[in-house]
Amino acid sequence: MSILKKIFTAVRGGAREVGEAIVDANAIRILEQEITDARNSLGKARENLTEVMAKEMQTKREISTLSQKITEHEDYASQAMEKGDEALAIEIAQKIVELEGEKSSKEAILESFTQHITTLKAQINQAEGTIAENDRQLLMVKTTESVQKATMSVTDSMSSNNSSMSNARESLERIKKRQQERSDKAAASAVLQAEAGNDLAAKIKAAGLSDSSSSSAESVLERIRAK
Amino acid sequence: MLQVRDLAIKLSDAKWEGRSFDCLPMPGESGVLQVTLSDQEEIPIYITATDTQLLCISYLFRTDELKSETVNEFNELCLQLNVSIPLSAFAKVGEQYVLFGALSLQSSFDDIMQEIVTLGENSAEALEAAEPYLA
């Protein structure tokens, strides 16, 4: 069973208490053992693979040498026949039979090597997959554990401090209060700024400064007349 | 491997988007760091390092703080919302509803600070969004 499924089952089955081991130590040991086994078999499979591949190449070379010899002897045989040396031709033909027998037995060996290589490659793939999968599952278990531990230490300290942090309602009220204070402050400072601005404008007007600085139709006419 | 205690030292001197980080290693061997963001003391963030990731978790509320008749609806809503929430996701640890973000151990310090601040803001928003479902 996959670890995620185990965790699901454990949670559904009521292992909800924080701190209760959701995945037992045995399952973790099994996972770790599987990883070690897969690593070992991976190492062996790789070693075997290189060995078998070397043998395969060697056998291929031997087969091509035999093929060459067979062609050579076929040539000799036809030359002997041309010369009318029937006895020699038969002797050569016998050699060819012998060579062909050797070749077909080598070909059978080659076939078994090729199959062995395919099997080994599949084994390597599988071992690599198992290692990756188990590593991932192990991580999931370890994360689940550390989250549990963390939660336990947090909830422990919450209850021992009898802190108000543990009550969402109260936290919420305080957050809202803080936000209200912030927006009140902003509003108050806006009002203050507006007041300060108005105040200054009023003083300027009272001092008769604002009129002289503003340009009215009359002041324009005044300027024209003055020219 | 990243040690949360080293992180605590760096965070204590750092600022991100105007926020400072108040760090407190939790007692015990769990290696949990409590980080309280300035201007958001209500919901601390808890940081744990595992073999592969840095987990940042905020604890929102327990199942028994929800109105029992709307728990299913709320769960459904959480699943629907998960993808939309930046950097964080809803989850449950035991009976605790949590918001969490996971970071690679190779994350930069800026990434970590951004994660913590975002998680803090998301948590406050999540609490507000969950208000109608709270008992």
Structural domains in chain B (count): 1
Residues A81/A86/A88/A92 CA torsion (nearest 10 deg):
70
Domain that holds residue B87: 4-133
Domain A3-166 has CATH 3.40.50: no
**pLDDT, tens digit (0-9, with 9 covering 90-100), for A142-172:** 787 778 777 777 777 766 665 544 578 888 8
Contact between B46 and A165 using a beta-carbon 8 Å cutoff: no
- E strand or H helix at A211: helix A209-213
Contact between A139 and B51 using a beta-carbon 8 Å cutoff: yes
Alpha-helical regions (H) of chain B = 4-12, 71-81, 109-130
Contact between A172 and B127 using a beta-carbon 8 Å cutoff: yes
- B-chain residues near A157 (CB < 8 A): 26-27
3-state class percentages of chain A: helix first, strand second, coil last, to nearest 5: 90, 0, 10
Q: Does B89 touch chain A (CB under 8 A)?
A: no
Find, in chain A, the residue whose alpha carbon is nearest to that of B34.
A154
Contact between A172 and B27 using a beta-carbon 8 Å cutoff: no
Q: What is the pLDDT, as a whole number, of residue B114?
A: 94
The domain locations on chain A are 3-166, 172-213
Q: Does A11 touch chain B (CB under 8 A)?
A: no
Q: What is the pLDDT, as a whole number, of residue A218?
A: 75
Q: Does A121 touch chain B (CB under 8 A)?
A: no
- A-chain residues near B27 (CB < 8 A): 153, 157
C-alpha distance from residue B65 to each of A46, A173, B62, B130 (Å): 58, 14, 5, 11
In this prediction, residues A23-27 reach a mean pLDDT of 70
**pLDDT, tens digit (0-9, with 9 covering 90-100), for A42-90:** 888 899 999 999 999 999 999 999 999 999 999 999 999 999 999 999 9
**pLDDT, tens digit (0-9, with 9 covering 90-100), for B42-82:** 889 999 888 788 999 999 998 989 999 999 999 999 999 89
Contact between B127 and A171 using a beta-carbon 8 Å cutoff: yes
Q: What is the pLDDT, as a whole number, of residue B1?
A: 45
Find, in chain B, the residue whose alpha carbon is nearest to that of A144.
B93
For A62, other C-beta atoms within 10 Å of its C-beta total: 15
